[in-house]
Amino acid sequence: MKIERYDMIVIGAGPAGLSAAIEAAKKGLKPIVFDENARPGGQLFKQIHKFFGSKEHKAKVRGFKIGEELLEEAEEYGVEVILNATVVGLYPEKEVTVKIGDKVKHYKGDAILVATGASENMVNFEGWTKPGVIGAGAAQTMMNLHHIKPGNRILMLGSGNVGLVVSYQLMQAGCEVVALADAAPRVGGYGVHAAKVARCGVPFYLSHTIVKVEGDECVTGVVIGQVGPDWKVIPGTEKHFDVDTVCLAVGLSPMSQLLKQAEVKMNDTKGGHVPECDKHGATSVPGIYAAGDVSGIEEASSAMIEGRMSGTAIACYLGYMTEEERDSRIDELEKQLDTLRQGMFAPKNRGKLVEKTDEGIDVSMNLLNKGFVTDDEIERFPGVTHQKGIHPVIECTQNIPCNPCQDACKMGCIRIGENITSLPAIDPEKKCIGCGMCVASCSGQSIFLVEEDVEEGYGEVTMPYEFLPVPEVGDRGVALGRNGQYVCDAEVTKVRIAPAFDHTYLLTIKVPNDMVMRARFYKKEA
Amino acid sequence: MVDIQAKLKEIGPFVEEPDDDLLVCRCEEVTKGQIRKAVHEGIFTLEEMRRYLRSGMGLCQGQTCGKLVKSIIASELKVSPAEVVPASSRAPMRPIEMCILAEDGGGCDE
Amino acid sequence: MSNVADVVIIGGGINGCAAAYYLAKGGTKSVIVLEASNSIGHGGSSRNGGGVRQSGRDIRELPYAMYGIKNMWPTLSEELGVDTEYTQKGNLRMGKTPEHIKKLEALTKSANSVGLDVRMIDQKEVKEICPYLSDEVIGASWCPTDGHANPLTTTLGYYKRALEMGVKFYTEAPVKSLQKVKGKVRKVILNDGTIFEGETIILVSGYESRAIARTIGVDVPMTRLIDECLVTEMQPHMIDVMFGCASADFYGHQTKHGSFVFGSDSGWETVDEMVDPSTNIPDPSKLITNSMTLSASCRAIQGYIPALKDAKIVRSWCGWLDESFDGVPFLSRVDEAPGLILACGFTGHGFGTAPVVGLMLSQMVQGEETVVDISALQYNRFKPCR
């Protein structure tokens, strides 16, 4: 009976697992990574949007690109990645049983990292088991991995980042998102994600939940209703929508079963059943580590840093680096992680209503309640100025960890400063040349170029555009406001694309000059 | 120490609700009403609920309904879901054919 | 909360719950059941193959096993208000070699001697009963009155009924020690210091009974052994019999739900120390399956029922057997500790007899004669071998 032994066994080839394996391999370990999927990268390959953060977090790079880079790095450092390999048991003495093809094999690791990620939560309502009710993550897999349109008319439940990002992607895939509902009284995800969905015309129903899904064989409609303080639906507030698909984005739960089987000490938290870990990811069982969503739901960017921290800790645990070397590397990584965990969406603010930005500006309540900042509210943010000639208008109104716009502007028009969660501000002394780099670099699609007077009575607005077909110069259509409602007629005057824009088109429309601060989206037909 | 009789008295009798027919565990077809009723019969833990109604014992092993059943039990017991101990996890983490397991001699190369 | 009762039962497994139920039914006013874990039936009651059989048992056990099957199991679902899934369609104890057959013949003969209807059948008859078996099975013993039930619902059924009848149950109430008052066992002291008192104390806590009995100077000759169970996904209805093997390769049956529940081993069990992975110190409360047994079990089962080769295993779990030195339980009052009744050492086959054991425990408390004579199960029957 031969059991193959590795320095380090990693379960899950997602952002955390791969990052950990790479980090450890750099120190001379020989890690093996098992993943039950046919492709590595975990959820990264479904993420077609640009990531937040700063350069060290690969900000403004699209998720799947980050996945590709991780894979290249893993290969470079000799990390062995075994796909279609399901770890089915984690036993004493750090032994795993792995189903590979039609064989079950046993491996032992001197250290094991569990990076199995999370699975989608469900919610019960009448009809929730009907075909057509799917997880938002499942919709994303269908669209972005398998190129299958999940439905035609969709209602999204959940206004966290997953619900917002997937709603936008559904529209990119050609689906109509008829409404976005959430039982919570406020939008849970980033305001910039909400704003880009709202300006496409998707109505937000906060404090609303699904009453029932209709249909015999499959979904044909959905009824939502307003919830009272007791979370029960208030009679008479029901609203019906004809839909063929209902997407649920109601949170994720860590897939921590292997850790439980291994008798790791667990904590039952609001975010699920997670292992009790030290800051390096070490669990209560010596040699077993956890990183990424399995140890608490966060974003892929944090998962990658957590993975690197665990990889470092494991390298030290197995004698591949000194404690001093470990601590200095961990310090470095901790700083990166800390910057991601700042701002309004920091773990300490979870569930709290933050009413003022770090700068002391009142947060837009309409953004939290309806998904968009109103025309009056937008004026109070430091990214919004009125100038002669072309200039950026940055509608970034919450303190989130992100700063690519600052570097994107070679003219120095945009200032964020040391603290990457600060709101971007415009330096009126610096001259905008209208290059559009800031527009394309903004992962939240919240930067517009505005020029009030291009000709008598008309100005221009340049916006990021990620839909197909791409409009052509000369096309006439309508401009929609931040709330997705018609504001005026518009004509496309410029369509720009460049490798540096990374597939984000810059669409310039001509609108009456009193509309340049209101027109924020272009639609071909009314 | 949990005094079952005292707790049963505290939570009062089972009262039917309009959504009792709602399917909660889809693998084993267990409804919300069955779960709620079981709590009033003294079934206070997820482990016991699994044994009593088979909730969470199907192919997905409770990955979908575990959290939902937990919150139903908690609400019936009038406690926070954190006070309801999660169910244990059992190998294999994914269902495996008996013939594949039968080939496994305990090593790596067999 | 009154901590004083007529009877305090230590152990919320099926035997404890059944005893509580029959006591309440028999008119005992106050009964308290103390369960160490947070769930009823946490021990062997939820970690067994559900056999309700007579065949294969020691002749000291057979009379009450037969009593239970004849008089109690057939009406139990009705009595408890749960579906015990009791199915009386026979037990097939299979043999693959002449040695196996010899062993089965000996068992059959001794069972016949106390009046049990069990007989040897050849391969042809085996196949008629169950067409899904391997040709390697050359014969079997066949006991048509044996069967199986669902130990989970049966245990909880007793619990539920006992609750309804006013029995007090306390979970998360681990017992540390017993204490005598004026020469009689009366006090039951929990780990947290809480004291319960009973006119009679029934100790029915599996292997843990040994440590508890020791606190008043009584040692029970038993040890413990780990055993594993596994369950398949739902299958179409195939077979109603209970399976067993002369060589103890596996046991099990198809449940009403459709899944097959089996028990088996890999041989590692005899040396399994059940170590807490965090501390490397043995901790029997951990109940961790080992990496080889599930596969070994499947190998064993497939060797007899090849038709199940594509059935998927969804779960495996383990539990301790309380193995008495001679394979049959201790079921008696303790002479040197008046007030104490012992019921432990069921050696892995206590489920099928739980109703009758519960009934007899209540009879012992209530001063009645037990339905059959169980004097052979005295706690002090151990004799030195030299």
Q: Look up the CATH number of the domain holding residue A296.
A: 3.50.50.60
CB pair distance less than 8 Å for C153 and B52: yes
Residue C286 sits at the chain A interface (C-beta within 8 Å): yes
CB pair distance less than 8 Å for A89 and C291: yes
Return the CATH number at B19. Answer: 1.10.10.1100
Q: Are residues A180 and A152 in the same domain?
A: yes
Residue at C12 is within a domain: yes
Min Cα separation C210/chain A (Å)? 26
Residue at C289 is within a domain: no
Last residue of a domain, one of A221, A248, A275: A248
CA-to-CA dists, residue C186 to C166, C177, C338, C344, C361, angstroms: 21, 11, 9, 19, 17
DSSP annotation string for A177-198? EEEEEESSSS--S-HHHHHHHH
Structure tokens at A381: 């943010």
DSSP-based three-state secondary structure for B102: helix
Residue at B45 is within a domain: yes
Residue at A360 is within a domain: no
How far apart, in whole angstroms, are the C-alpha atoms of residue C10 and residue A496?
79
Q: Are residues A314 and A416 in the same domain?
A: no
DSSP annotation string for A399-415? --SB-HHHHH-TT--EE
CB pairs under 8 A between A and C: 30
Q: Are residues A107 and A131 in the same domain?
A: no
Q: Are residues A197 and A186 in the same domain?
A: yes
Nearest to C310 among B41, B99, B106 (CB): B99
Question: What percent of chain A is predicted at pLDDT more than 90?
Answer: 94
Question: What's the pLDDT at A526?
Answer: 53
Mutate to test the interface with A, among C278, C287, C298, C310 (most CBs of A within 10 A): C278
Residue at A367 is within a domain: no
- How many domains does chain B fold into? 1
Residue C277 sits at the chain A interface (C-beta within 8 Å): yes
Question: What's the pLDDT at A3?
Answer: 87
CA angle, A113 as apex, A4 and A295 as ends, to 5°?
Answer: 155
Structure tokens at A185: 């009284």
Tell whether the model's pLDDT for residue B109 goes beyond 80. Answer: no
Q: Are residues A93 and A142 in the same domain?
A: no
pLDDT digits (tens, 9 = 90+) for C181-237: 999 999 999 999 999 999 999 999 999 999 999 999 999 999 999 999 999 999 999
> B65: which chain A residues are within 8 Å (Cβ-Cβ)?
122
pLDDT digits (tens, 9 = 90+) for A143-158: 999 999 999 999 999 9
> A34: which chain B residues are within 8 Å (Cβ-Cβ)?
none
Nearest to B106 among C292, C302, C312 (CB): C292
Residue at C279 is within a domain: no
Q: Please enumerate in sequence order all residues whose Cβ is within 8 A of that of A261, keeping only pairs 6 or more positions apart, or say none.
A: A89, A90, A91, B89, B90, B91, B93, C288
Residue range(s) defining the domain that contains residue A321: 4-119+252-340
Nearest Cα residue in chain B from C34: B1
CB pair distance less than 8 Å for C288 and A285: no
Residue B61 sits at the chain C interface (C-beta within 8 Å): yes
Structure tokens at A155: 């209602």
Mean pLDDT of chain C: 97
Mutate to test the interface with C, among A90, A263, A288 (most CBs of C within 10 A): A263
B95 confidence band (pLDDT: 50, 70, 90) = very high
Residue at B110 is within a domain: no
Instruction: Supply the DSSP symbol for A12.
Output: -
> C294: which chain A residues are within 8 Å (Cβ-Cβ)?
89
Tell whether the model's pLDDT for residue A271 goes beyond 90. Answer: no
Residue B64 sits at the chain A interface (C-beta within 8 Å): yes
CB pair distance less than 8 Å for C315 and B61: yes
**CA A27, chain centre distance (Å):** 31
What subunits make at least 3 CB pairs under 8 angstroms with C? A, B
> C308: which chain B residues are within 8 Å (Cβ-Cβ)?
98
**For residue A394, which of A508, A511, A520, A506 has the smallest C-alpha distance?**
A520
Report phi then psi at A372, rounded to 5. Answer: -140, 155
Sign of dihedral through CA atoms C247, C248, C250, C251?
A: positive
Residue at B88 is within a domain: yes
Residue at C336 is within a domain: yes
Nearest Cα residue in chain B from C45: B51
Min Cα separation C152/chain A (Å)? 22
Residue range(s) defining the domain that contains residue B56: 4-102
Residue at B33 is within a domain: yes
Nearest Cα residue in chain A from C275: A92
Residue at A218 is within a domain: yes
Nearest to C309 among B51, B85, B99 (CB): B99
**For residue A262, which of A245, A278, A239, A286 has the smallest C-alpha distance?**
A286
Q: Which residues pair with C33 in a beta bridge?
A: C9, C169
CB pair distance less than 8 Å for C277 and A263: yes
CB pair distance less than 8 Å for B89 and A87: no
**For residue A187, which of A397, A419, A435, A371 has the smallest C-alpha distance?**
A371
pLDDT digits (tens, 9 = 90+) for A233-243: 999 999 999 99
Residue at A158 is within a domain: yes
Nearest to B100 among A3, A87, A103 (CB): A103
Question: What's the pLDDT at A313?
Answer: 98
pLDDT digits (tens, 9 = 90+) for A340-388: 999 999 988 988 899 999 999 999 999 999 999 999 999 999 999 999 9
Q: Are residues A88 and A111 in the same domain?
A: yes
CB pair distance less than 8 Å for A92 and C295: no
Q: Are residues A264 and A168 in the same domain?
A: no
CB pair distance less than 8 Å for A4 and B24: no
CB pair distance less than 8 Å for A97 and C278: no
Question: What's the pLDDT at B110?
Answer: 46
Angle separating helix axes C354-365 and C151-164, nearest 10 degrees: 30
Alpha-helical (H) ranges within A5-113 are: 15-26, 63-76
Residue at A477 is within a domain: yes
CB pair distance less than 8 Å for B108 and A121: no
Nearest Cα residue in chain B from A1: B107
Nearest to A89 among B93, B103, B108 (CB): B93
Q: Are residues A11 and A102 in the same domain?
A: yes
pLDDT digits (tens, 9 = 90+) for B7-58: 999 999 999 999 999 999 999 999 999 999 999 999 999 999 999 999 999 9
Identify whether the C-beta of residue A132 lies closer than 8 Å to the C-beta of residue A117: no
DSSP-based three-state secondary structure for A169: helix
Identify whether the C-beta of residue A169 lies closer than 8 Å to the C-beta of residue A46: no
pLDDT digits (tens, 9 = 90+) for C81-100: 999 999 999 999 999 999 99
Identify whether the C-beta of residue A288 lies closer than 8 Å to the C-beta of residue A262: yes
DSSP annotation string for C321-359? EEEETTSS-EEEE-TTSTTEEEEE--TT--TTTHHHHHH
Residue A106 sits at the chain C interface (C-beta within 8 Å): yes
How far apart, in whole angstroms, are the C-alpha atoms of residue B76 and residue B78?
5
Residue range(s) defining the domain that contains residue C351: 4-50+152-222+326-377
pLDDT digits (tens, 9 = 90+) for A281-314: 999 999 999 999 999 999 899 999 999 999 999 9
DSSP-based three-state secondary structure for A437: helix
Tell whether the model's pLDDT for residue C345 goes beyond 60. Answer: yes
Residue at B69 is within a domain: yes
Structure tokens at B106: 């305990």
Return the CATH number at C215. Answer: 3.50.50.60
Identify whether the C-beta of residue B31 lies closer than 8 Å to the C-beta of residue B21: yes
pLDDT digits (tens, 9 = 90+) for A162-209: 999 999 999 999 999 999 999 999 999 999 999 999 999 999 999 999
Q: Are residues A93 and A105 in the same domain?
A: yes
CB pairs under 8 A between B and C: 123
Last residue of a domain, one of A248, A272, A292: A248
> A273: which chain B residues are within 8 Å (Cβ-Cβ)?
86
Q: Are residues A517 and A427 in the same domain?
A: yes
CB pair distance less than 8 Å for C171 and B51: no
The single residue listed with the structure tokens 């009154």 is C2
Q: Are residues A415 and A499 in the same domain?
A: yes
Sign of dihedral through CA atoms C96, C293, C36, C220?
A: positive
Residue C279 sits at the chain A interface (C-beta within 8 Å): no
pLDDT digits (tens, 9 = 90+) for A59-116: 999 999 999 999 999 999 999 999 999 999 999 999 999 999 999 999 999 999 999 9
- How many domains does chain C fold into? 1
- How many domains does chain A fold into? 3
Q: Are residues A167 and A217 in the same domain?
A: yes
pLDDT digits (tens, 9 = 90+) for C300-317: 999 999 999 999 999 999
